[in-house]
Amino acid sequence: MFENLSCEEIKKLVEKGGQLIDVRSTMEFVQGALCGAINIPLDSIHHSTESIDKNKPVILYCRSGQRSGAAKQFLETLGFSEVYNIGGYQNYITC
Which residues participate in catalysis according to the annotation? 62
- DSSP states of the chain as a string? ------HHHHHHHHHTT-EEEE-S-HHHHHT---TT-EE--GGGGGG-GGGS-TTS-EEEEESSSHHHHHHHHHHHHTT--SEEEEEEGGGGTT-
